[in-house]
């Protein structure tokens, strides 16, 4: 487990690198792709899969307590509860998944929060990776994450998606990298795509901003 606290750096600067597309619903969309108690890396045919559904004991070490940062997380009741009571710092937890991020891969998670929570992908020991966020109003955004005193950099600024994102409820976020293109989905519907950026590691996980209580039902990462 790699857990860090970062200064909150979500701004409202418009980034010109994102290519927005018309909304396309996935034909193979599944709101709960496995619904089992598998918490180990495994192979399915020739595809490598990291499947964590938080239905069993905390075998990876997702849980932590940080009184200094007023943050904690625990695996309980079939989900991952992630709480940050601080007013200035955000909190990130990622796991090394063994996924080959140089090739095609997909990461899917089901999350909800009382403020804003993000899916972290592509993190490593030298880079905090990227965050695909969704807030309680159904707005989504994408950031290249910062660390220490370096603020996060917007790639997609906060964008309303009231047609497909549920407000104050669970939402399924998916990020797909195929043939050098990133495609993002909310509840099975494509909301954006762009040329893939450099990814330095196989760390995937979650980020909550200050004052946020968030929950994750599962996270599944696989090579396509």
Report the pLDDT value the prediction gives residue 9, as an integer from 0 to 100: 47
For residue 45, is pLDDT > 70? no
Q: Compute the distance between CA of residue 199 and CA of residue 120 in angstroms, rounded to an integer.
A: 12
For residue 14, is pLDDT > 60? no
* Cβ neighbourhood burial of 160 (10 Å; 0-12, 13-18, 19+): exposed
Locate the domains of the chain by residue range.
2-223
Report, at the CATH architecture level, how domain 2-223 is classified. Sandwich (2.60)
For residue 183, is pLDDT > 50? yes
One-letter-per-residue 3-state SS of 153-198:
EEEEEEEECCCCCCCCCCEEEEEEEECCEEEEEECCEEEEEEECCC
Provide φ and ψ at 219, rounded to 5°.
-145, 125
Percent of the chain clearing pLDDT 70 (strictly above): 79
What does the block give as tokens for 125? 């020991």
Q: Compute the distance between CA of residue 204 and CA of residue 110 in angstroms, rounded to an integer.
A: 14
For residue 32, is pLDDT > 70? no
- Beta bridge partners, 8, equal none
Please, which pLDDT band fits residue 164 given cuts at 50, 70 and 90?
A: confident
Alpha-carbon distances of 137 from 91, 152, 163, 165, 166, rounded to whole Å: 21, 21, 11, 8, 8
Mean pLDDT of 6-30: 39
Q: For the stretch 122-143, what's the b/e string if a residue is b when 16 or more beta carbons lie within 10 angstroms of its beta carbon?
A: bbbeebbbbbbbbbbebbbbbb
């Amino acid at each position: 487990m790699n857990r860090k606290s970062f200064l909150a750096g979500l701004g409202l600067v418009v980034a010109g690198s994102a290519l927005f597309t018309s909304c396309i619903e996935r034909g193979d969309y599944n709101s709960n792709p496995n619904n089992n108690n598998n918490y180990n890396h495994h192979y399915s045919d020739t595809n490598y899969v990291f499947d964590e559904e938080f239905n069993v004991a905390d075998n990876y070490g997702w849980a932590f307590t940080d009184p200094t940062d007023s943050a904690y997380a625990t695996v309980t009741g079939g989900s991952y509860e992630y709480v940050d009571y601080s007013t200035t710092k955000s909190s990130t937890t990622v796991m090394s998944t063994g996924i080959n991020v140089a090739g095609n891969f997909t990461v899917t998670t089901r999350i909800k929060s009382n403020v804003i929570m993000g899916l972290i992908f592509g993190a490593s020991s030298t880079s905090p990776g990227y965050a695909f966020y969704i807030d309680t109003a159904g707005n989504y955004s994408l950031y290249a994450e910062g660390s220490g005193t370096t603020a996060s950099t917007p790639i997609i600024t906060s964008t309303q998606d009231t047609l497909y994102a549920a407000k104050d409820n669970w939402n399924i976020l998916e990020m797909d990298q195929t043939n050098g293109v990133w495609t993002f989905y909310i509840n099975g519907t494509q909301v954006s795509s762009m040329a893939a950026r450099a990814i330095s590691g196989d760390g995937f996980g979650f980020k909550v901003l200050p004052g946020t209580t968030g929950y994750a039902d599962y996270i599944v990462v696989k090579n396509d």
